[in-house]
Amino acid sequence: MKLLCDQMLGTLAKWLRLLGFDVYYVDDKTTDDRILDIAKREKRVIISRDKQLIERAKKREIKVIEINSTDLDEQLKAVTLIYSINEEEILSRCSLCNTPLVEIEKSKIKDKVPPKVFDLHDEFWYCKKCDKVYWKGSHWEKIEKKMKKLTKDT
């Protein structure tokens, strides 16, 4: 599923990416007209709290998920009630730029992660665009905990 979060939902966009969703995140310079054009052209579902944008999207027959809360857990719940989490997709996208991650050999990232991380972990993923390395550390535990909470309540 291809999603688009508006500028009010940056944290949600990041978490959805960590959970494996393909999320286009627009910055505060992107106009509503541009958001609608991107969503229509790329067949993305708009996720927003902006009532006017939501109404305009509906008129153009663009799918929307209206977010009514500022609480991240509630926002995630609103999306995952409609589009379920695929456990195989978790940690498959860069949380910063949405680029699909690739597995990378441990030996190739020695200078890109702290020594303790290198010593403690054997699996790493890499974003070619951001040059960022990911591993299943303490943040992974937070992701798993949040995912279990989301799926338990459904």
Asked whether residue 81 carries a pLDDT value surpassing 80, the answer given is: yes
For the whole model, what pTM was predicted?
0.89
Note the pLDDT of residue 9: 97
Asked whether residue 154 carries a pLDDT value surpassing 60, the answer given is: no
For domain 2-89, the CATH class is alpha beta
CB 65, CB 53: distance < 8 Å? no
* Interval 30-71: pLDDT, tens: 999 999 999 999 999 999 999 999 999 999 999 999 999 999
Q: 3-class DSSP state for residue 129? A: coil
Q: What are the DSSP calls for 79-96, one per residue?
A: HHTTS---GGGTT-B-TT
Q: 3-class DSSP state for residue 75? A: helix
Q: Which residues belong to CATH 3.40.50 in the chain?
A: 2-89
Asked whether residue 146 carries a pLDDT value surpassing 80, the answer given is: no
Q: 3-class DSSP state for residue 10? A: helix
Determine what percent of the chain is predicted with pLDDT higher than 90: 79
Q: Scanning the structure block, which residue is given the tokens 């990041």? A: 14
Asked whether residue 153 carries a pLDDT value surpassing 60, the answer given is: no
Asked whether residue 16 carries a pLDDT value surpassing 90, the answer given is: yes
Asked whether residue 87 carries a pLDDT value surpassing 90, the answer given is: no
Note the pLDDT of residue 4: 98
